A and B are shown apart, each in its own frame.
Chain A
Amino acid sequence: MSFPWAQEYKPVNPLMRYLDERLPLPRFVYNAVGAGYPVPRNLNYMWNFGVLAGFALVMQIVTGIVLAMHYAANAGVAFDSVEHIMRDVNWGWMLRYGHANGASMFFIVIYIHIFRGFFYSSYKAPREMIWLLGVVIFLLVMATAFMGYVLPWGQMSFWGAKVITGLFSAIPFVGEPLQQWLLGGFAPDNAALNRFFSLHFLLPFVTLGVIILHVWALHIPGSSNPTGIEVKTESDTVPFHPYYTAKDGFGLGVFLIVYASLVFFAPNLLGHPDNYIPANPMSTPAHIVPEWYFWPFYAILRAFTYDFFIIPAKLMGVLAMFSAILVWFFLPWLDNGPVRSGHYRPLFRKFFYLLVIDVLVLGYCGGAPAAEPFVMISQIASMYYFLHFLVILPIVASIEKPQPLPFSITESVLGKDKSAVLRPEMSSTPATA
């Protein structure tokens, strides 16, 4: 599960030795995030975000469990119970703002983590399984976030539930009954609110389970690194502790500063004022948008305004929105060039930055009203999004001539690697295909 030079866990304290022989949990932690896990020595701050995502999840679980002690999942009192949390419960305002903004922070961190994966092609062999599990985690977190947004039972909660479950009504033949089954009625009401609360409580723990698999799969080949070349010798690595516990600790401090700024100085910046109006099934808000982290996908959903042969526009939009994420499952095989890191792939790099811009444009359009010119921009940007993954990446992978790779991680850091001289049979010429 690790490199042969990984430091071995040697408990000194007799109690720890006793424990190690019976339940080697400290050994497990030592080998997972302690000195027993050798990590490439050249990781940059982009490699902070996995730990930050894990921290954000734990924070959401802690604040969420506490909020559930005060929240009432009943359509008659849900809105009032949230106001009760805000006004009456000791520190309730902080816990709720912490939870709501914690979701935003979670998505900021996850998006950076995913785009790190795009740039450094972290999904390539032998790390495909880590990537696939990561996409599963992303889907779970999106589902959890959506259901959590319904719980305050404000106007945006109600109409968000209606619109998102309405997506399923686009499915031919079974759509309408499926939507009614999901909601337990014809419109969101008590039945829907109760099941959303139940699932909102359950899914984070399912996510935690998949994260354990994600990290387990990561520890087999070990972390990737900014050069994209594999670890060869001990000089290419440093122990996770103290090197990356310290580096991640610094990143965590920056994360907490941003998070605290949101919670304490702009708690409603990323929210929508309409959600402070109690749910009203008789009146839809004038401008209904999901939370910001769904905007790129919402833009893709709305981009389809014409029927496509026999497929109605509504179904096309739904299929496209889900495909926008499902396409990530095929990424390891769509981009199959031998070089991983975007640093050595000049052509790929240009298209990577274009994708970033494209997703930002989609995000902006998703939050804008459904009117021109945003619809047309969404259409172009959606087309480019799929073009990037399905056409551009495979072509780039086959025609691109990567720049020369360093001999080793050590050489990329120090400018020279003594072991290269000792082992001349290992060519320092990079792969050029």
Chain B
Amino acid sequence: MANEASIDPAQLSGDGVRRRDFINIAAVSVGGVGVLAALYPLVAQMAPSADVLAESSTEIDISQIAEGQAIKAIWRKQPVFVRNLTAAEIADADKVNVATLRDPETLEQRTTAGKKNWLITMGVCTHLGCVPLGASDGEVKGEYGGYFCPCHGSVYDTAARIRKGPAPKNLEVPAHEFTSDTIVKIG
């Protein structure tokens, strides 16, 4: 090469590490940090945006829900079932031997203390995410009187616990609290 003569032999002696090696490693390292810093926003931009996160809680007026009736509310763009259980449905749920269940939970564990008749669950089947039937009037409630998922035949009982079919878990109970006797806040 043309400029071999311009390389200072003294630089090649010693421990063999040249000033240029240091500059090279330092420059490439700083460049690498810069690339990583630039990549972070490009990845993070796909996470839920502020307006999506702002919808993370919703308040539901339950004053108009009669005994034995249920409504579908929307929380995080997903259906939530709010069900006012009858005394018979509560009795049905309580008489089941919890140990025999696929996902053992009592109705007490799934409801707020003192408001055992208010069963609030996600309307999202724990199998593959369809909306089970049984919340609206006239819909099939399945053989256990709770919910029935038409996609793959999962059957839930009156406490929305999985009893039959492919779903692995009970319908999820979202975090919720009663801010008054007629308002429940989900999320």
Contact = CB atoms under 8 A, between A and B. Distances in A.
Interface of A: 41, 62, 66, 69-70, 84, 87-92, 94-95, 234-238, 249, 256, 410
Interface of B: 1-3, 27, 31, 34, 40-42, 44-47, 49-52
A410 B2 contact: yes
B51 A84 contact: yes
Nearest to B50: A88
B49 A89 contact: yes
A238 B3 CA distance: 9
A69 B48 CA distance: 12
A84 B47 CA distance: 14
Contact of A66 (B27, B31, B42, B51): B42
Contacts of A84: 49, 51
7 contacts: A66-B45, A84-B49, A87-B50, A90-B44, A92-B45, A92-B49, A95-B45
Nearest to B42: A66
Contacts of B2: 41, 234-238, 410
A234 B4 CA distance: 13
A237 B2 CA distance: 8
B45 A89 contact: yes
Given A62-B42, A90-B44, A95-B41, A249 B50 contact: no
A94 B41 contact: yes
Contacts of B42: 62, 66, 91, 95
Nearest to A84: B51
Nearest to B41: A91
Contacts of B52: 88
A70 B50 contact: no
Contact of A91 (B3, B45, B51): B45
Contacts of A236: 2
Nearest to B52: A88
A69 B51 contact: no
A237 B44 CA distance: 44
Contacts of A410: 2
A86 B46 CA distance: 14
Contacts of B40: 91
A207 to B, nearest CB: 21
A62 B43 CA distance: 12
Contacts of A91: 40-42, 44-45
A90 B42 CA distance: 9
B50 A69 contact: no
B3 A90 contact: no
B1 A69 contact: no
A164 B3 CA distance: 54
B51 A90 contact: no
B47 A90 contact: yes
A69 B47 CA distance: 12
A51 to B, nearest CB: 15
Given A84-B51, A87-B50, A92-B49, A238 B1 contact: yes
7 closest cross-chain pairs (CB), A and B = A91-B41, A88-B50, A235-B2, A88-B49, A88-B51, A89-B49, A90-B44
A69 B44 CA distance: 13
A90 B49 contact: yes
A91 B49 CA distance: 9
B49 A69 contact: no
A5 to B, nearest CB: 10
Contacts of B31: 249
B157 to A, nearest CB: 41
A70 B1 contact: no
A303 B34 CA distance: 46
A249 B45 contact: no
A287 B26 CA distance: 49
A256 B51 CA distance: 32
Contact of A70 (B3, B41, B45): B45
